[in-house]
Structure 1
Amino acid sequence: MSEKSVRPSTIDGIKSLAKSLKRDNGIKHSEALDCAARAAGFSNFIHANRELGDRPRHFLWITARWFDHATKERGQETLKVAFDRPYAELVSPSQARNDRYLGNVRAEAPDHLVILSMSESIELARRHVCEVARTLQFIDITGLKPSDANRAYPKGRFDNRVPNQDHASVWWDPVHRRHVLADEPYVRADDPISEERIAWAQRHGWEIVKPAWGSIYWTDGGCWLFLMTDRAKGPSLKPLVDALEKGPKPVAAKRWSGFSGAYYAAVDTPGGRAAAAASEATVPKVRKPARKRASIAYNMAFVGRRLRPDARMPVEAHQQVGKLLKSVLVAASKRDGARTRIDRMRSELDEWVQREYSPRELDQETFSELYYHEDDLDPRSPMGRDEMILHIENVKSILTRHYPDCPPLDEVKGQADRAIASLRGWRM
């Protein structure tokens, strides 16, 4: 086994590789430890132990569910991956939405991510898990964050993208506050950067590098990562390349070390246990009545589906409310803010009463006089602001007494409150 074929990222990984090197090459244990440490990017085992020995690791479990339509088999695949920082510090929810992979996951626990889309086979499930893991590895190593800024291209134009661009992504450097472009075309690991791409970088004054790290998109399938940035404005790419060289090797489905489980099987993680314990310790909230259950739907011409209270107010109460509203409409004829809202109230109540009573229970003449035909009211009858407000408050009181607490009633009472606010600001 070549020491360059595996790149461990932990002391335990270095020790495990050292055992294999000692067995395969017949060397001393101390020599094997140094070889394994060099494979991890350190000068020797002492150097590795100094850098990694006391460094806390944060583990994240990533799960993908799968269903094979041909065999009708189903299950889930989970991989445990170590990072220098917890998931919440690696990427924010808004940043995750900018990424092709992280935008398709849900955090079921602080340390457990579940891929939302269902895979069509166990192989695809493992591949999708590794895509999420590699994305987080890249973020953990470089400190870059996913971005959706197309203005990051040369001169802010997508037309100026690198030749033969494939599987492109944009990254934000929060330290230098600049963007870094990436793409992952199908090239071999040992292929040099093409002359066409070098000419593009020189033409735009950009820097382009090809780190030896591998690929986020498909490290098993012949893709390779390129990083690009503006030489004058962007951050230097050398620290990013150096960090990737020393970072953990990108996880890959061909080196799968995860575990399988039944479809929707619970994945036991420390974060999940802590969240469950905290939930059990929380004092249960008093469940409020389901207010929507106090509403009933109806269809209104040219409007569509609406809601009204699941009750009916006595006709006498409708008559009283109608009289109060019509009196305010006449008195506030010159105050559009109040008049418009009162008009909306009576229109809504007029719709309700039509559905609360059948024509046999409520004759046409009585119905038509409930909320309209205010012509018989004397517009010369003086009514002050306070009296108008009192009439509206009485309407709210009547409605509250006869209808259950529900969103439709809130809407009508809200119109009443806005009418009152308009009247209070009226300089009569």
Structure 2
Amino acid sequence: MVTLATPPSTIDGIKRLAKAIKRESGIAHHAALEEAARKAGFQNFLHATRAITRGSDQSYTVYVTVYWNDLRSEAPSSGRYTVEVQLTRPLSELLADGLKVGGAYLRNFRLEAPDHIEMRTDASSPVSAMQYLDQASFALLFINSTGLVRVFRKENIKVMNGLERIPFADHMTGWEDPQSGDWLLLDEPYISPEPGFRKEWLQENGLHQVAPQWHGVYYPGNAVPYLISPSQALLSRIQAQVESIPDCSFPMGIPQAMEYDSRFISPARAASGKPRRSRTMPTSGVSNGALAYGGAPGVRSKWRPARGMSLELHTTIGPILHKLCNSSVRTAGVTTRVYDRLNQVRSRLEEWAFMEHPGGITAEVDAKLYYGLPVDGYATPQDTLKAIETARDVLLKGYEECKPRALLLAKIESAAADLRKRISR
């Protein structure tokens, strides 16, 4: 029998005791957790988690910022929201492996300062901005309280992808314990079905489900969160942990709207003495023979030659690239590596053609450009190489020297070099 000199007073201590009880008694892990919690003086493991969590007063304030730019409504508006979230671990520790640990909910954010994450792109409206704020904030609290991260092990991803469609499921995200490797699905449908729903499906797939009294992450207060996993021990622990998140940790109410051009300076950023890093913004104008185009807040602009290529040369190089991209490895030596480079050149040149000749590309001209009906590829590797060299010569003739042209030429030269190696074997 497991005897105790001093009952454990931490969650980790209770877990260690549970392992000892499991080894000695041979009972299931979740049952061992319950027994260990009782030996530590608590009613059960959930009671232990709540009580121990409440006893910890260490708190770290972190900040989440989202910008919005609404140009489609009758009354266009723009602005910035910043909210506070209370964590029990420093943000820099929580995100030590990068924002990827938060999966889709933190994918569009960047770590602006050790205590501040900021969305890279703009939300489309104040309502959308609030949803992004809630999802990022609640994802941070979920990771902070559970220690889970977005699912990353290939075997876990394969298992979850292999499950048949879960009845009534919606807005599912995959998570896993980075230590044990156990996985968990967070399912957040809008409906709250009858108790015991999908019981047969869960049994058929060897899974268990709990419905914690918790806000969830996807749409807090509106969607209903369910936790699904093959591990009852994991479900028991995660349920206890999310239900123990103090209400004071969550951002409440609608934050004050600030000017779009305003910049939030967090305490950690101010203490560092280093200037705040600006968000990536679109570029305009001409630089070194190249013209900027496209882009958006958080998305870099692309560049094209400032002086366009004639439509005649576009209709010369277009069919060549189209035929190259229809050539095969067997007859013409176009491997996947060669194809990828040529197809990238084809795609970019088509984009440039429509910008360089707005309104000048009729359906008849478009049929002579970069895409169209399938065609026979080149007959031999030698013919393919000659066509690639011709495409290179057209680019050199059609565009003046600049970085965008150089990048396309590099792809063409790389494709030619790979093909030369194949021919010389």
User: What is the TM-score with the length of structure 2 in the denominator?
Assistant: 0.52
Q: In structure 2, list runs of 5 or more residues that go unmatched.
A: 1-46, 279-286, 292-304, 319-348, 353-380
Matched to 1:265, the amino acid is S
User: Would the alpha carbon gap of residues 63 and 272 (structure 1) be closer, same or farther in structure 2, given more than 3 Å must change?
Assistant: farther
SS at match of 1:261: coil
Equivalent pair of 1:295/1:407 in contact (CA under 8 Å): no
Superposition map of 1:25-424 within 5 A: 41-42=50-51, 48=55, 51-52=56-57, 55=58, 57-65=60-68, 67=70, 69-83=73-87, 84-86=89-91, 89-90=94-95, 92-96=98-102, 98-99=103-104, 101-110=105-114, 111-114=116-119, 116-121=121-126, 124-147=128-151, 151-153=158-160, 156-159=162-165, 161=166, 163-186=167-190, 194-221=195-222, 223-231=223-231, 236-249=234-247, 255-256=252-253, 258-273=255-270, 274=272, 276-277=274-275, 290=288, 292=290, 296-298=307-309, 299=311, 300-304=314-318, 305=349, 348-349=392-393, 352=396, 408=405, 411=409
**Aligned-partner Cα distance in 1 for 2:217–2:74:** 30
Matched to 1:198, the amino acid is K
Per-residue deviation at 1:95?
Answer: 4.3
User: Would the alpha carbon gap of residues 405 and 342 (structure 1) be closer, same or farther in structure 2, given more than 3 Å must change?
Assistant: farther
Matched to 2:228, the amino acid is M
Q: CA RMSD in A?
A: 4.7
Equivalent pair of 1:178/1:235 in contact (CA under 8 Å): no
Matched to 2:218, the amino acid is Y
Per-residue deviation at 1:167?
Answer: 2.6
| CA shift digits 1:161-182 (9 cap, x unpaired) | 2x32233222122111132012
| CA shift digits 1:359-404 (9 cap, x unpaired) | xxxxxxxxxxxxxxxxxxxxxxxxxxxxxxxxxxxxxxxxxxxx96
User: Would the alpha carbon gap of residues 169 and 347 (structure 1) be closer, same or farther in structure 2, given more than 3 Å must change?
Assistant: closer
Per-residue deviation at 1:64?
Answer: 4.0
SS at match of 1:81: strand
User: Would the alpha carbon gap of residues 114 and 203 (structure 1) be closer, same or farther in structure 2, given more than 3 Å must change?
Assistant: same
Per-residue deviation at 1:211?
Answer: 1.7
SS at match of 1:301: helix
Equivalent pair of 1:213/1:250 in contact (CA under 8 Å): no
| CA shift digits 1:263-291 (9 cap, x unpaired) | 231112134444844879xxxxxxxx847
Equivalent pair of 1:65/1:115 in contact (CA under 8 Å): no
* Identical-residue share of aligned pairs (%): 18
**Aligned-partner Cα distance in 2 for 1:249–1:279:** 32
Matched to 1:238, the amino acid is S
**Aligned-partner Cα distance in 2 for 1:276–1:131:** 29
Per-residue deviation at 1:141?
Answer: 0.9
User: Would the alpha carbon gap of residues 301 and 166 (structure 1) be closer, same or farther in structure 2, given more than 3 Å must change?
Assistant: closer
SS at match of 1:201: helix
Counterpart of 2:16? none
Per-residue deviation at 1:406?
Answer: 5.6
**Aligned-partner Cα distance in 2 for 1:138–1:180:** 13
Matched to 1:269, the amino acid is S
Larger radius of gyration: 1
